[in-house]
Amino acid sequence: MIVERMPVGVVVERQPGVTKWQEHVWRAVAVLPGSPMVAPWTELGREQGPRGEIVRYYAGTAELVAYSGGDTRTYKHNVEAPEPSVYVVLRRADTLSGWTLYLATIDPAEAHSHADTGDDLVERLPMPPLVFDWLSAFVAQHHVERMEWKRKRDRADPDALGVRGLAAEEQRGRRQAGWEDEDE
C-alpha cells in the first residue's frame, strides 16, 4: 500500500450565537495548502458581522492522507464531484475555544463517519487547487477500477419451507377428527 501525505492549515471562525442558549458558533472556513509557521489558535483577524464580532483563528495543521488500494474509489468520486471538497473535523476539548482540530480528510466516507457521532463538528470546504492537483495525480496513478459484485438471492421454495407440509398435516388432522371441509 502506498501512502502520500499533504499538510494543510485550517482556519476557523467564531461568530455570535443565534439563540440565547448558544453564546458562540464555531465553524471551519478555509483550508490552506502547506504548514504555515503560525502557532495553533493564533488570532488572524476580526470583523463586524450582522450579529456581532466575527473572529478568525488559525486552528492548526492537519495532514491529508491518501492511501492506494480500495480507498481510491472515494477519492475519485471526490475529485470528479462538481465541488471537490476537504472535510475538517473539530472535536470538543478542554481548551479556551472548547474545540481542537481533530483532522482534515479528502475521504467523504471518513467525514461521514465522524458526522454520525454527533459530538464532532464536520465542515465541508472547497478543495484548494494545489490539493486538487495532488489528489488528481494520486488517483490517476493509483486508482484501479474494480467490478462490484452483488450476490443474487435464491428464490424461496415454499415446499422447502414446509408451508405445504403443514397444510397437508392440518388437513390430515381435520379428516381424522371428522371435520371434513364441505368444499372438498
Residue 79 included in any domain:
yes
Residue 91 included in any domain:
yes
Residue 74 included in any domain:
yes
Whether the CB-CB separation of 123 and 87 falls below 8 Å is answered with yes
Residue 159 included in any domain:
no
Residues 42-57 have pLDDT tens digits of 999 999 888 889 999 9
Residue 148 included in any domain:
no
Name the domain count of the chain.
Answer: 1
Banded pLDDT at 183 (limits 50, 70, 90): low
Residue 181 included in any domain:
no
Residue 72 included in any domain:
yes
Dist CA 29 CA 20 (whole Å): 24
Task: Give the three-state DSSP class for 27.
Answer: strand
Check residues 127 and 37 and name the one with the higher pLDDT.
127
pTM, full prediction: 0.76
Domain that holds residue 34: 3-142
Banded pLDDT at 24 (limits 50, 70, 90): confident
Residue 166 included in any domain:
no
Dist CA 169 CA 179 (whole Å): 14
Residues 79-135 have pLDDT tens digits of 999 999 999 999 988 887 788 999 999 999 899 888 887 788 999 999 999 999 999
Contacts of 4 (CB under 8 A, 6+ apart): 65, 66, 134, 138
